[in-house]
Amino acid sequence: MRPFAYERATTAGAARAAHTGDAAYLGGGTNLVDLMRLGVAVPDRLIDVSGLAHDRIERRDDGAIVIGAGVRNSDLAADRTVRAELPVLSQAVLAGASGQIRNQATTGGNLLQRTRCPYFQDVTKPCNKREPGSGCAARDGENHNHAILGHTLTCVATHPSDMAVALTALDASVHLHGRDPLPLAELYRLPHDDASRDTTLAPGDLITAVEVPPPGMPSAYRKVRERASYAFALVSAAVALDVADGAVRGCRIALGGVAHRPWRAYRAERLLTGMPATEESFRRAALAEMENAEPLRDNGYKVPLTANLVCRTLSDLASGEGGRP
Amino acid sequence: MDSGDGVVHAEITVTVNGAARRLRVDTRVSLLDLLREELGLTGAKKGCDHGQCGACTVLLDGRRANACLALAVAQDGAEVVTVEGLAGGDRLSPLQQAFLDEDAFQCGYCTPGQLCSATGMLDEAARGRPSAVTPPGDGPPELDDAEIRERMSGNLCRCGAYVNIVAAVRAAAGEAAR
Ligand SMILES: Cc1cc2nc3c(=O)[nH]c(=O)nc-3n(C[C@H](O)[C@H](O)[C@H](O)COP(=O)(O)OP(=O)(O)OC[C@H]3O[C@@H](n4cnc5c(N)ncnc54)[C@H](O)[C@@H]3O)c2cc1C
Ligand code: SF4
Ligand code: FES
Ligand code: FES
């Protein structure tokens, strides 16, 4: 591991000012330290932001819920307000990693964790995300857990965070030190011809909080993986659904494990709004969202799996199973 | 502090199993390596060094954590309890005793991590913290086998002693509830 300087920041301003050159912020370290050990991340200075005063969850007067960037994943999932009013968020966090890792991981770090593409983590393999221009070993390699939507020749990786999928469905935004808040829809990006950037953030941008608009709809998170617990998603769905008089008044659907970013299923949402809240409408909408899917050699299974997962989660919410508002 | 070859050291104070220690650490050293290599506490094990197995689990400020992903330099002021600190002198903790009674190990490599993890987990459950399988509601979760399995999923056992590990944790949970 390359030697690095370490400092513990006491204010957001000091942290931001200390971030120059090859520096990196350190949250819980559960992703960054791993990537440093693998030689994928080689910062020359770590600025520890885990001790900043961004460690609370507050409800603002307008009803929005503001989660400090330093709130640990386990504390977020256990928060009473979050459990009661944003079940999709609590469930998504609890569906990720392990009890130990959730105790260490921070909200900010979770959002900016890097892909689990095995070639990205292996410095002996070509990877445009790690080394732009070197190629993409996954495109014609083992890609059973790669993207089916929005990928390019440059990169077919998926975003690994469960929390980010829930927050995308909730229309959340991140607060940045010294900058305007940024909706998650504008934070994450597709690879296009530059896979090196997962987000639209500039180097040194510091996340101070995540803001979730006032909750309204019942919601739920469903995740499919290769073992029952402690595994990343093959696919996942964060769904919020509002049904009145048997018709869909509103819905929000975000998908995990299918793209370089949490994938908001706008097409399915549009198709569903105003339609009868029946399994038939749910299936039609889910299949419509999958029409643009372009599976790779090994991951064709994700197309029906995602459609079924969306349909099932909508049905369960419509029948009153899953999350309260 | 740069010692010339680019290596950076820092001074930290950590309390390990009740004793305060002042240490000079290379910033790259993990808490796990600090415990094992510098402090001679070899209970916590290095199974993977990537957060994937839980063999390195310790209690960090009272909460279970993977010591392999924690940088030692970031633990200045922290309180660490390792498996060596779970017993009160020669008196095993109820959980440790339950592991013996239920024969909850084979080779024993994962056991220190299992013990620290279950210690932290029982405390989380007692404080009403949910897991992925906890039904909605505010009541304290009931630690049935499904809850124990889910909450302990961050600790792998290559020997597959899971059935007896669950039994031991169940027994210790029952004891704690009485
Ligand atoms: C074995 C294993 C299994 C896992 N399984 C899952 C899973 O199933 N689902 C899932 O979602 N996740 C999973 N994870 C990933 C885990 O959730 C992340 O590692 C964790 O959330 C990262 O948070 P952290 O605070 O430790 O981040 P760090 O590792 O400290 O940082 C991650 C990145 O964020 C940056 N950063 C941190 N804080 C800020 C800030 N405030 N502002 C700007 N940048 C910042 C860092 O510079 C770094 O680039 C797993 C991890 C492991 C090791
Ligand atoms: S999919 Fe993306 S991250 Fe994986 S090897 Fe290709 S370029 Fe790298
Ligand atoms: S050695 Fe830390 S989790 Fe495996
Ligand atoms: S007892 Fe051998 S690894 Fe668990």
Bridge partners of B165, per DSSP, are none
Whole-number average pLDDT of chain B: 95
Q: What is the pLDDT of residues A269-308, one digit of tens each?
A: 999 999 999 999 999 999 999 999 999 999 999 999 999 9
Instruction: Give the pLDDT score at B139.
Output: 73
Strands laid side by side in the A5-8 sheet = A5-8, A45-48, A23-26
Q: Is the pLDDT of residue B4 over 70?
A: no
Strand, coil or helix: A51: coil
Class of residue B107 by CB neighbours under 10 A (exposed 0-12, middle 13-18, buried 19+): exposed
| In a domain? residue A265 | yes
Percent of chain B with pLDDT over 90: 89
DSSP code at position B37: I
Closest CA to A224 of A307, A169, A306: A306
Q: What is the pLDDT of residues B39-77, one digit of tens each?
A: 999 999 999 999 999 999 999 999 999 999 999 999 999
Q: Is the pLDDT of residue A324 over 60?
A: no
CA distance B92 to B84: 11
Q: Cα dist. B106→A125, B100, B103, B113, B163 in Å?
A: 38, 11, 8, 14, 12
From the alpha carbon of B52, which atom of ligand 3 is closest? 3
Instruction: Give the pLDDT score at B136.
Output: 80
Give the residue carrying structure tokens 């935004």.
A173
CA distance A32 to A113: 8
Instruction: Give the pLDDT score at A325.
Output: 42
| In a domain? residue A78 | no
Q: Is the pLDDT of residue A60 over 80?
A: yes
> Which token pair is A301?
């299974």
Q: Is the pLDDT of residue A228 over 50?
A: yes
Judge: B65–A103 Cβ closer than 8 Å, yes or no. yes
The alpha carbon of A116 and the centre of ligand 2 are apart by a number of angstroms equal to 9
Instruction: Give the pLDDT score at B3.
Output: 57
| B76: closest chain A residue by CA | A8
In order of start, what are the domains of chain B with their CATH numbers?
Answer: 9-84 (3.10.20.30), 94-177 (1.10.150.120)
CA distance A49 to A3: 19
Strands A65-68 and A179-183: unpaired
Instruction: Give the pLDDT score at A9.
Output: 98
Helix (H) or strand (E) holding A5: strand A5-8
Mean pLDDT of A44-70: 97
Strands B63-66 and B57-60: antiparallel
Q: What is the pLDDT of residues A168-191, one digit of tens each?
A: 999 999 999 999 999 999 999 999
Q: Dihedral through CA A112, CA A115, CA A121, CA A125, nearest 10?
A: -130
Q: What is the pLDDT of residues A9-28, one digit of tens each?
A: 999 999 999 999 999 999 99
Ligand 3 and B65: CB distance under 6 A:
no
CA distance B72 to B80: 11
Instruction: Give the pLDDT score at A87.
Output: 96
| In a domain? residue A110 | no
Q: What is the pLDDT of residues B138-173, one digit of tens each?
A: 777 899 999 999 999 999 999 999 999 999 999 999
| In a domain? residue A307 | yes
Judge: A229–B132 Cβ closer than 8 Å, yes or no. yes
Dihedral angle sign, alpha carbons of residues A67, A32, A182, A88: negative
Whole-number average pLDDT of chain A: 97
Instruction: Give the pLDDT score at A217.
Output: 94
Burial B55-82 (b: 16+ CB within 10 A, else e): bbbbbbeebbbbbbbbbbbbbbebebbb
Q: How far is B9 from chain A (nearest CA, A)?
A: 8
Q: Write out the residue range of the structural domain in which residue A262 sits.
A: 219-318
Check which CATH number belongs to the domain holding A297 and give it. 3.30.390.50
B82: contact with A, CB 8 A cutoff: no
Identify the band that residue A199 occupies on the pLDDT scale cut at 50, 70 and 90: very high
Q: DSSP E strands: which ranges in chain B?
A: 9-16, 19-26, 57-60, 63-66, 79-81
**Residue A30: which of B51, B73, B136 has the nearest Cβ?**
B51
Strand, coil or helix: B154: coil
| In a domain? residue A43 | yes
Instruction: Give the pLDDT score at B140.
Output: 79
Judge: A80–B138 Cβ closer than 8 Å, yes or no. yes
Check which CATH number belongs to the domain holding A33 and give it. 3.30.43
Choose the residue to mutate in B42, B50, B109, B153 for probing ligand 3, maximizing ligand atoms within 8 Å of C-beta. B50
A218: contact with B, CB 8 A cutoff: no
> Which token pair is B92?
């095993």
- Number of C-alpha atoms within 13 angstroms, CB side, residue B73? 24
| In a domain? residue A82 | no
A324: contact with B, CB 8 A cutoff: yes
Q: Dihedral through CA A33, CA A38, CA A42, CA A48, nearest 10?
A: 0
Bridge partners of B64, per DSSP, are B59
Output the pTM of the full model: 0.97
A97: contact with B, CB 8 A cutoff: yes
Percent of chain A with pLDDT over 70: 99
Q: Is the pLDDT of residue B27 over 50?
A: yes
Report chain A residues whose CB lies below 8 A from the CB of B129.
74, 77-78
Identify the band that residue B176 occupies on the pLDDT scale cut at 50, 70 and 90: confident
| In a domain? residue A194 | no
Strands A45-48 and B63-66: unpaired
Bridge partners of A224, per DSSP, are A235
Q: What residues of chain B, 21 to 80, have a C-beta less than 8 Å from chain A?
A: 26-28, 30, 49-51, 54, 57, 60, 63-66, 69-71, 73-74, 76
Q: Is the pLDDT of residue B104 over 80?
A: yes
| B11: closest chain A residue by CA | A6
Q: How far is A291 from chain B (nearest CA, A)?
A: 32
Identify the band that residue A322 occupies on the pLDDT scale cut at 50, 70 and 90: low
Mean pLDDT of B12-33: 98
Counted domains in chain A: 2
Cβ contacts of A31 within 8 Å, gap of 6 or more: A105, A109, A113, A114
Q: How far is A300 from chain B (nearest CA, A)?
A: 27
A297: contact with B, CB 8 A cutoff: no
Report whether A1 contacts A37 (CB < 8 A).
Answer: yes
Cβ contacts of B132 within 8 Å, gap of 6 or more: A91, A94, A95, A229, B150
Interface test with A, best of B1, B66, B116 (most A CBs within 10 A): B66
Q: Cα dist. B40→A6, B44, B65, B71, B109 in Å?
A: 25, 10, 19, 17, 17
User: How far from chain centre, in Å, is Cα A299?
Assistant: 20
| In a domain? residue A171 | no
